[in-house]
Structure 1
């Protein structure tokens, strides 16, 4: 689609082997790989290392798009490149400020997510019981605790989807910020699901960066569960009508026909 652009992949070879000999030369892998685990800060480290390797190449791109293995393009390369080249923003990233709301007449999913994110990123870690592995008690009610450092009025907490698109200026800022010793990085190293807040907090607090609160990802949360709906052929009209660049999640074992149909519409 994109005429062999530079692609950087992080793969945890300790989890499963992967033959890279047959891949084209424009694909690079983070070496040595990091041992990653679901929800842990290792995912943030792997992402930063991939961005760093991408922008150390001879011809670093103007924009990068962070993708998972369950993402798929739903627009042509020409449309995606046109949107990014004409963008007035440095990053397209879903970011929402995390403010704990105590009283709500109707507890909606967005409010519940706010409360969950507050407990994840802003509550105090009171103590750990060493005789229980990885067992930590967190005190999260705003009337009984204050937000955990390093957050303040000058450094606010943000969270959102971990998949985003950003330009080279944003990439360089992420790399520089992460390489320096700072309280924010130290704080997130002790938090689960940091990949859904770390980059949002860094970028949303950077005064020189202009963010659009739209990651151009089509995701269907109509199931109201912990995971989005797996997209199938019946979702195709909605995908084509969407302005998004990519959609998730797909599963070839559930419905491969929708991917074949998208190929006929997006490939030159």
Structure 2
């Protein structure tokens, strides 16, 4: 079982290094996309075979289409790396494994041919709201003054964009674990359908639905398992999940999920120490 992790990172150099170290295995490689806004000199990342820095680097805005561009570019980097991986796992620099690498690989071997992503189907309130994200114009990737006023003017004057009726929109979570065949399909779809992909430019939160919808509308739909294998706590009802701390230690130890999201060592380093010494310890 050969596994590639794509790590999207934009901050917290020490935590990123800790994450990379926790993923080390002879049949595992980490591909890191470091946000173009970051100073790479501040990141003391290991120079070894188990790590590759992704280029080009994108200036990613939260919710912007730049996030989708960074993800697809990262998948392309893995595909062009000269190695074939059974699975590609997308995580952020603030995720952390909850079980040993060996357990994750064993799970994927047992479930070979399946791909894992979490989503809601049409009719769900989340999908209904998400349609507004892609039918209206959003200038999230721009920084100029007055961009929100311009958004309102354009969305008043220009008709809403429409997605073809034969393309079903699903989504909810950005993070996924896909096999090699699915990764090839995603990149090929983006390459061969540029006019369709342009419909998602100037949208908001397309990273939570576009790649998922591309796979759902393909011949690969039957391979999808509606589970992203992540422990994420949305109990605070905010746009971002709750930061996990030692208060979550028991739940993280008992869960069947393989990764937790999200952690912040500046808020609670003890939980990361706990995971290293307890959850990730191979017995």
What is the aligned partner in structure 2 of residue 136 from structure 1? 151
Whole-Å Cα distance in 2 between the matches of residues 165 and 81 of structure 1?
12
* 1:190 equivalenced with 2:202 (yes/no): yes
Whole-Å Cα distance in 1 between the matches of residues 112 and 52 of structure 2?
30
Whole-Å Cα distance in 1 between the matches of residues 178 and 170 of structure 2?
17
Normalising by structure 2, we get a TM-score of 0.78
How many residue pairs get aligned? The number is: 246
What is the aligned partner in structure 2 of residue 12 from structure 1? 35
Deviation at 1:124, TM superposition (A): 5.1
In terms of fraction of residues, the more strand-rich structure is 2
What is the aligned partner in structure 1 of residue 133 from structure 2? 120
| Alignment partner of 1:92 out of 100, 113, 116 | 116
Deviation at 1:115, TM superposition (A): 3.9
Q: Write the deviation string for residues 121-161 of structure 1: whole angstroms up to 9, x where unpaired.
A: 2x355xxxxx943532448xxxxx9x842231x21111211
Q: CA RMSD in A?
A: 2.5
Look up the SS of the partner of 2:174 in the other structure: coil
Q: Write the deviation string for residues 204-260 of structure 1: whole angstroms up to 9, x where unpaired.
A: 111234100100000011112222111111211111211101001111011111111
Deviation at 1:54, TM superposition (A): 1.1
Look up the SS of the partner of 1:163 in the other structure: strand
1:55-66 maps to which residues of 2 (within 5 A)?
55-66=79-90
Unmatched segments (≥5 aa) in structure 2: 1-22, 138-144
Larger relative CO (CA 8 A, sep 6+): 1 or 2?
Answer: 1
Normalising by structure 1, we get a TM-score of 0.82
Tell whether the 8 Å contact from 2:61 to 2:67 is kept in structure 1 after alignment: yes
In terms of fraction of residues, the more helix-rich structure is 2
Tell whether the 8 Å contact from 2:34 to 2:57 is kept in structure 1 after alignment: yes
Unmatched segments (≥5 aa) in structure 1: 100-109, 126-130, 140-144
